[in-house]
Amino acid sequence: MNVFTYKDYIKCIHTLRLNAAFKLAEESSKYRSQKDNVEDKKIIKKIMQDKNEMANFINEFLESKEKIENKNLIRYDSKYISIRHKVDENKLIYKLKNKETFFIVDEVYELDNIVLYEILNYCIIIMQEWNITNKIRGESKYPLIAPIIIYAGTKKINNKCIQNKNQIGDYIFKNYNINLNYNLIDINKTSIEFLLKRNSLVAFGMILEKSKNKIELQNNLIKILEKNDKKFKKLVNYLNIKHLDCIEE
């Protein structure tokens, strides 16, 4: 499992001018607001708002050294972040109880430097907030942050896929030579047979995201229904009306 460490954070704050970096965060936020219309389609992200499903995902798809239980996961929302920072609703942030281990999850249909920068920005924010709390508590254990990107796009990922779309990519990743170790889950490279064997809502959600048209979606829904009718009913609750229309045709 790839993680963002305190050493990575120290490198960033010594390399980047953070005020400028946070200003760029606002620009990236405006860029993302132009794509708000796709947020309701992110089935996997909706499913992973359930702590049980998030725990299943970590255990099934990440190389975690120990099994994660849902009771040990805390949803990291705005009440855990200072008033100086707001949590982006398009991302999921979890923390392990009694451990300085964080998970940042983003489901995307396009993978570029802006996506990576936003994840990096959240890693820096979490480290900064930890630094403030650490000084108060007198603790010395450094946090570990596991950035997770679930790619549900149709294009194959290559070097041309992750490229500069505006000034953000060049400013952070090229001019300052910042590397972000993240965990990439490319659902295009995962077979439907493998996902069916996982028998989890997250895996079933990935199957639906793999569906390229209404016919494939209908066939995949039938496969999920045959595999687990109880989870199929739960899965349908995460689908919007547009998704449901296709199985009535």
Query: What is the tens place of the pLDDT at every residue in 220-246?
Result: 999 999 999 999 988 888 776 344 444
More confident residue, 69 or 115: 69
Model pTM? 0.80
Determine the pLDDT at residue 26.
Answer: 54
Domain count, the chain: 1
Whether residue 229 is contained in a domain is answered as no
Determine the structural domain holding residue 106 and report its residue range.
Answer: 6-190
Q: Do the strands 101-108 and 144-151 form a parallel or antiparallel pair, or are they unpaired? A: parallel
CA-based nearest residue to 4, from 147, 154, 165, 163: 147
Q: What span, in angstroms and rounded, lies between the C-alpha atoms of 138 and 134?
A: 5
Whether residue 216 is contained in a domain is answered as no
Q: Which residues pair with 110 in a beta bridge?
A: none
Q: Do the strands 183-186 and 144-151 form a parallel or antiparallel pair, or are they unpaired? A: parallel
Whether residue 174 is contained in a domain is answered as yes
Whether residue 148 is contained in a domain is answered as yes
